[in-house]
Amino acid sequence: MQKTINISTSTREGLFDITSEVEAIVIQSKIAEGIVNVYAQGATAAIMIQENWDDSVQMDVVNLLKKLIPKGVWLHDAQDGNGDSHLKAGIIGPSETIPIINGKLGLSTWQNIFFCEFDGPRSERKIVVSIME
């Protein structure tokens, strides 16, 4: 089974919680045991599993990446000014795979699935959710 989630992002860089959307697709699949792959379409976006309790963790991720990969110093910036966005997305990676256990996402209490925006804001971002038994 495969579905696409469409979201819009409101900031240049940020983590956006998509766990409930992925959960709904897993429930709809009626698969009890398997895996779900969550994939960000776009060269300047990524998917990350991160703590869900405290927003400061998500801000820390964004701030760390800003320090490690500053804006405006990369060769690609000459084309469209988003060289840092491509590098951040490449380091985090475009996807995560989560087990399905008893029909539910196999995340721990403190884990959620986040879409990572590194070149926003965007009116539409696509996330492909693929479920395999």
In the chain, what are the helix, strand and coil shares in percent, each to the nearest 5? 30, 40, 30
Distance CA 109, CA 87 (A): 30
Amino acid present at 92: I
pLDDT score for 40: 98
Residues of the chain whose pLDDT is less than 70? none
- What pLDDT score does 92 carry? 98
What is the model's pLDDT at position 81?
Answer: 95
Q: What is the pLDDT of residues 42-59, one digit of tens each?
A: 999 999 999 989 889 999
Render pLDDT for 14-33 as a digit per residue (tens, 0 to 9): 999 999 999 999 999 999 99
Q: Which CATH number fits domain 2-132: 2.60.120.460, 3.30.420.40, 2.90.10.10, 3.40.50.11810?
A: 2.60.120.460
pLDDT confidence of residue 93: 98
* Domain extents in the chain: 2-132
Q: What is the CA radius of gyration of the chain?
A: 15
Q: What is the pLDDT of residue 45?
A: 98
